[in-house]
Structure 1
Amino acid sequence: MDFPEALGNKKNEKVNWMDFLRLEGKKIVIFGLANRKSVACAIGKVLAEAGAEVIHVVRSEERAKACRKLFPDSPVFCCDVEEEENIIRVRDEIADQVGGPLAGIVHSIAFANYSEGMQPFHGTVKKDFLQAVNISCFSFISIANHFKELLAPDASLVTISISTTRMAAENYGYMAPVKAALDSSLCFLTKSFSAFSQVRFNAVGPSLLKTSASAGIPGYIDSYLFAEQAIPRKKALETIEAANTAAFLLSERSSGITGQTIVVDAGMGSNYFDHALINKVVS
């Protein structure tokens, strides 16, 4: 059978490439939608287009109202993951109202509170750092633990990291070490869950994105514009590109990938010596 016949040989037949993901009817929970610019929102749209049954978990009732407008067909629950009992509560609510098994969970949550303003890294405030670790990293571990009985045996859990934690971007502050902890948790979760399941844990590591959350980072626009020029195509990474990768990792098509952070940076990490950037510095 040649390639066209494999796809269907009817004249002008439209091939639905989203069928490739095989997500039709599968239940996937997404934590972290804040607004229409959120990575979580983009992932939700891709999954909905693929036919998945998307369940959203947001931080507050205000965000729940916005989420229901964006996803009128999706159940929406509230959970502030800073308190572990809230994760247990929302798990019970989802179990009662939606049921399982869950084919996947998306963790798109990050928070940093610079209570004393931006400080040099060595001046990081302990309580701010620990709060960021709790919300941005430990919540992923906690969600995995408390939702394990609802997961399908081969479920996929995906979190949103960053393209590199080895670059000292001063305006990103202590969040890179927090994301490094999140990245490290992937292999440990994979190992511990392997004792009783084939559940996979991966992360999408995008370069700079144009989101509402990133807009609050001091000097982010300048960094974003630099990143755009450092990307070989001279076009910034789009949120949908990160979302597409997340959808792939949630699907059975990525069954051979676990414990990994998949970098999605449109080639930026290999192009720092771009001749145009060099010329601007030395001219």
Structure 2
Amino acid sequence: MADFLQVTGKTFVVFGVANRKSVAWHIAKTLEEQGATVIYSVRSEARRKSLETLLAGKPVFICDVEHEGAAERLAGEIAAAGHGALSGLVHSIAFANYAEGFKAFYETKRADFLQATAISAFSLVELAKAFKPHLAKDASVVTIGISSLLVTPDNYGYMGPIKAALESATRFLAKSFSAHSEVRFNVVGAGPLKTSASAGIPGYIESYLYAEKMTFRKRNLSTQEVADSAVFLLSPRSSGMNGTTLTVDAGLGSNYFDQEIIRLAMKPV
């Protein structure tokens, strides 16, 4: 069946493209392959400059969500550019200051926690409010979370609670928007990925390799697999899903008693 996803001719705003490895880039590329128009929002002029080749000929705007009022300014700029009603937003934005390396969670600095919360979680609320007048009645908003909020990896630190806040905010946005529209808000709960952002997490490579052994298939996710799930949530084909998290982890979260892992763990030192 042609155009199964029914996104051809629709327009989406994608936040968070940093390079070719970004989840946001894979989502945007897939939307365009399906006939959609993508408007790109990047953090800074320097980032836009670094993406000149990748995003040549595409509409690119700047919005640093760390700064209050940035979301409203962006919404106004995109509306003024005449792109019409928007069929969805992709929020693939996250930041944590790991410049001082690994720290125990109780050593988290207030400034670091609040900065990461503003950028990684509250920005979704601000963007939803700013773009509300410009969204189609049945638009879809998708953010990128993590596959489990119950795990407590030491090296992920305070980003665990912040991702929990992001997921909770998504549900509250879904409820509050339901009073006046059918705009949907959902999360893709992604397992570990090989992205530039992930590389900044202390000890991430070891965690990534361990997670791979925990998947059913013994192979970690590709970024495209996460992007495909996000595009499904952006499409009308997922119209029955709202305020939920679609977990994409290749079975990682259900494989606690993997025989290979058990053998390795019980092996005498």
Q: TM-score, normalised by structure 2?
A: 0.96
1:96 paired residue number: 80
**Could you tell me the percent identity over the aligned residues?**
57
1:278 paired residue number: 262
Q: Look up the equivalent residue of 1:226 and give its one-letter code.
A: Y
Residues 140-149 or 117-126, more deviating: 117-126
Alpha-carbon distance in 1 for matches of 2:93, 2:75:
17
Give the Å deviation of 1:84.
2.3
- Aligned: 1:35 with 2:29: no
2:114 paired residue number: 130
Alpha-carbon distance in 1 for matches of 2:21, 2:70:
25
Contact kept? 2:17, 2:42, Cα under 8 Å: yes
- Aligned to 1:21, what secondary structure does the other structure show? coil
Give the Å deviation of 1:116.
4.4
Q: TM-score, normalised by structure 1?
A: 0.92
RMSD: 1.2
- Aligned: 1:119 with 2:134: no
Aligned pair partner of 2:226 in 231, 239, 242 = 242
| Number of equivalent positions | 267
Aligned pair partner of 1:211 in 195, 200, 207 = 195
- Aligned: 1:26 with 2:19: no
- Aligned to 1:33, what secondary structure does the other structure show? coil
Contact kept? 1:53, 1:74, Cα under 8 Å: no
1:229 paired residue number: 213
Give the Å deviation of 1:153.
0.3
1:81 paired residue number: 65
Alpha-carbon distance in 2 for matches of 1:38, 1:115:
21
Any unmatched runs of 5+ in structure 1?
A: 1-6, 8-15
Alpha-carbon distance in 2 for matches of 1:51, 1:243:
16
Q: Look up the equivalent residue of 2:158 and give its one-letter code.
A: Y
Give the Å deviation of 1:115.
5.5
Any unmatched runs of 5+ in structure 2?
A: none
Give the Å deviation of 1:256.
0.2
Runs of 4 or more above 4 Å deviation: none
Give the Å deviation of 1:114.
3.5
